[in-house]
């Protein structure tokens, strides 16, 4: 299991937080997601043999947010 921190731009409220959290959690291989709304930091615990950083970025971007 690996942990990374994504820098997500554009999250403003609890709904944004839920959308990003849900999109990441839905990916196969993602174990744990922690969204900090104030800083935009999203820490993700994941299995790198199942899911790539690129897939995680896409999942967040599909919700309408930018990943730095
Ligand atoms: Cu929002």
Tokens of 52: 């790539």
pTM > 0.85: yes or no: yes
Contact 22, 42 (CB under 8 A): no
Number of domains in the chain: 1
Please tell me the distance between residue 37's alpha carbon and the centre of ligand 1 in angstroms.
10
Please tell me the distance between residue 38's alpha carbon and the centre of ligand 1 in angstroms.
12
Tell me the residue range of the domain where 53 lies.
2-67
What are residue 2's phi and psi, to 5 degrees?
A: -120, 155
For the chain, the straight-line distance linking the first and the last C-alpha, in angstroms and rounded, comes to 23
Edge-first strand order for the sheet with 41-46 is: 30-36, 41-46, 2-9, 66-67
Question: What CATH number does the domain containing 34 carry?
Answer: 3.30.70.100
% of the chain with per-residue pLDDT over 90: 100
pLDDT of residue 28: 98
């Amino acid at each position: 299991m690996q942990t990374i921190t994504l820098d997500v731009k554009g999250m403003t409220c609890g709904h944004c937080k839920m959308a990003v959290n849900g999109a990441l959690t839905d990916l196969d291989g993602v174990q744990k997601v922690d969204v900090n709304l104030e800083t935009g930091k999203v820490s993700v615990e994941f299995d790198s043999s199942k899911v790539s950083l690129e897939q995680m970025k896409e999942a967040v971007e599909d919700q309408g947010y930018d990943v730095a």
